[in-house]
Amino acid sequence: MTPSAFAGGVAVLTGAASGIGLALATGLARRGSHLALIDQSAEGLDQLAGVLRAEHPHLHITTHPFDLSQTGAIPDLADEVIKQHRRVTLLINNAGVALGGTFEEISLDEFEWVQSVNFRAVVAMCKAFLPALNSELRAHIVNVSSVYGLAAPEGQSAYAASKFAVRGFSEVLRHELAPRGIGVTVVHPGGVRTNIANSARVASGVRASAQEAEAQRRAMNRVLRLDPAEAARIILTGVERRSPRVLVGSDARVIDMLVRLRPGTYWNVLRRLLPRRRATP
């Protein structure tokens, strides 16, 4: 498949206002991509767009505050983006949310909220932007899964379910769209230094004390080591090469190998490497 070219293209990016998304927006702008930036934080989008417009005045950069859990409104979002940019060459579904708690502790509504943002929004974005991508010679889709789309740790039933779903959906999409020249990359980041641990919701059924919850957040943050800028560089290199799968970080590579070697028993090893969840009464 022909390598991707960023310069002069139009990239649609969700979760753009922070973390990996912010780093991807910065990297895409440096590579000459016009940008449609999507995030729930209007303030964060405005700050990012202001910086990028000052650094790259020749680029057309638009901001689109949007709650991706409202999947029914995504076609209207796509119409707005296409109206302002006329075309789309790259779609990056990066936005995601996290929820802590065992399956017994989370409610079905909480489980569904994670699926709506992490998986159903990805599907809806691909559906809404596919006609525009079909009009391009070297269009590309990037769906960000997780290392928890490779392995499923305890306390992450909603998150892992959504990220495994993104992985499966992306693989099917890749096979279906390859004859049209549209590439699909699924990304599995490991511990990237973002705010996801601090912003994660705690399930309504969790009875841990504030001190225990804070200790768990600190433990999770200790394993989030990779610089988001480096994560973005790895992802964009994968897009440029039209790689079908990108593992971000040495921990993602180790976990991928462990799951391959011990598909049914990897948790016996992995549970000793990940921060332990405190028991609740």
Contact call for residues 236 and 28 (beta carbons, < 8 A): yes
User: How many domains does one find in the chain?
Assistant: 1
Q: CA 11, CA 9: separation in Å to the nearest integer?
A: 6
The pTM for the full model equals 0.89
Contact call for residues 11 and 140 (beta carbons, < 8 A): no
- How large a percentage of the chain has pLDDT more than 90? 78
What is the domain range of residue 234? 10-270
Token digits of residue 150: 């490779």
The answer as to whether 48 is a domain residue is yes
What confidence score (pLDDT) does residue 221 get? 45
The answer as to whether 83 is a domain residue is yes
The answer as to whether 81 is a domain residue is yes
List, for residues 57-102, the tens digit of each pLDDT value: 999 999 999 999 999 999 999 999 999 999 999 999 999 999 988 9
The answer as to whether 188 is a domain residue is yes
The answer as to whether 103 is a domain residue is yes
Catalytic residue, candidates 129, 159, 164, 266: 159
- Reply yes or no on whether 148 is catalytic: no
The answer as to whether 92 is a domain residue is yes
Strands (E), 201-280: 201-202, 245-248
List, for residues 263-278, the tens digit of each pLDDT value: 999 999 988 877 654 4
List, for residues 173-202, the tens digit of each pLDDT value: 999 999 999 999 999 998 875 665 556 667
Contact call for residues 158 and 176 (beta carbons, < 8 A): no
The answer as to whether 3 is a domain residue is no
The answer as to whether 49 is a domain residue is yes
Q: Assign residue 42 the CATH number of its domain.
A: 3.40.50.720
Token digits of residue 264: 């049914």
What confidence score (pLDDT) does residue 218 get? 54
What band does 281 get if pLDDT is binned at 50, 70 and 90? Answer: very low
Least confident residue range of 3-7, 41-45, 129-133, 250-254: 3-7
List, for residues 124-180, the tens digit of each pLDDT value: 999 999 999 999 999 999 999 999 999 999 999 999 999 999 999 999 999 999 999
